Structure 1
Amino acid sequence: MDTDSLVTLVAGLLIVAGIVGVLMPVLPALPLCWGGVLLWAIFDDAGLGRWVVLGIATALTLIGTVIKYAWPGRNLKRTGVPNSTLLAGGVLGLVGFFVVPVVGLIGGFVLGVWLAERLRLGDSRLAWPSTKDALKAAGLAMLVELGVGLAIALTWVIGLAVV
């Protein structure tokens, strides 16, 4: 196997790992996708086109990261769910991930958000709508991240074919 093929294979594996990282939030999804394109751009002999592909991937990564946090965050502010609630969900989600791998992440997040809202609002019935809003926001962030990860992958594949 020559060096270019090895670099392309490793770059592709990084991009796939990034896309999987959307579903397993322990992996940094967009940085892995971008890192795969960066590796390919630096070490592959694809000429100027590889830098164009890296520029597009960089723009997608930056714009996607901003949208990933801003859009769901704006929706949560409208519903009145504070950042501390999401922090509680994230902490319990992380604990849940290690207690019950993968499934515990989601369960821990839901439980953490619900408990934080239960404490904040003082009523279980009021905590559930806030929990659903937080879950919708987390789902939206994941969809944005998945879309951007797939767009980076598509850009890279087009770059492989054209360059």
Structure 2
Amino acid sequence: MSLGGELLIGAVILVGLLGIVFPVLPGTILVAAAIGVWAFAVGGWAWGIFAAAATVIVLGEVIKYFVAGRSLKAAGIPNTTIAVGGVLGIIGFFVIPVIGLFIGFVVGAMIAELIRTRSARAAWRGTVSSSKAAVITIGIELFAALLGTAIWLVGAGVW
């Protein structure tokens, strides 16, 4: 693949990594798809690089749900709190671009916990626990995507 092509793939991967931290785009999917396009263009041994990167990325996706679920269960937070936070986060994203996602999530989690616990103090603890779980999942997803990117960089450097 030409240098320009590899730089384009790298740019898409970078946008994907940013999409993980600032959930505007499906970051992990962009990273994996870009590496897949690179493997298709290069062919041969590049499919092995893609398989390794995709395996790491998929493992990260699976692990993040187990870790977040365990964290939420330990704090006694039901899935409805995360669902309400997620829905209000999405709405918030469109009301206040980018930062509205985070504000909406916190407000949604707080509302859900207030309704559930009927205590502002308990609701705030639940909101903090939900936010910590969300940050942990972003960290795990980003780490896996960065490992996948590192695998691609090694493969692209060998070519």
Structure 2 length-normalised TM: 0.94
Pairwise CA distance, 1:48: 3.0
Q: Which amino acid aligns with 1:140?
A: I
CA contact (8 A) 1:29 1:145 kept: no
2:77 is the counterpart of 1:81: yes
TM-align CA RMSD: 1.3
**Which of 5, 8, 33 is 2:6 aligned to?**
8
CA contact (8 A) 1:92 1:109 kept: yes
CA contact (8 A) 2:24 2:98 kept: no
CA contact (8 A) 1:7 1:39 kept: no
2:32 is the counterpart of 1:34: yes
Identity of aligned residues (%): 38
Unaligned runs of 5+ in 1: none
Structure 1 length-normalised TM: 0.92
Number of equivalences: 159
Unaligned runs of 5+ in 2: none
Q: Which amino acid aligns with 1:12?
A: G
CA contact (8 A) 1:7 1:43 kept: no
- Name the counterpart of 2:49: 53
Give distance in 1, aligned partners of 2:4 and 2:146: 22
Q: Which amino acid aligns with 2:140?
A: V
**Which of 135, 156, 159 is 1:160 aligned to?**
156
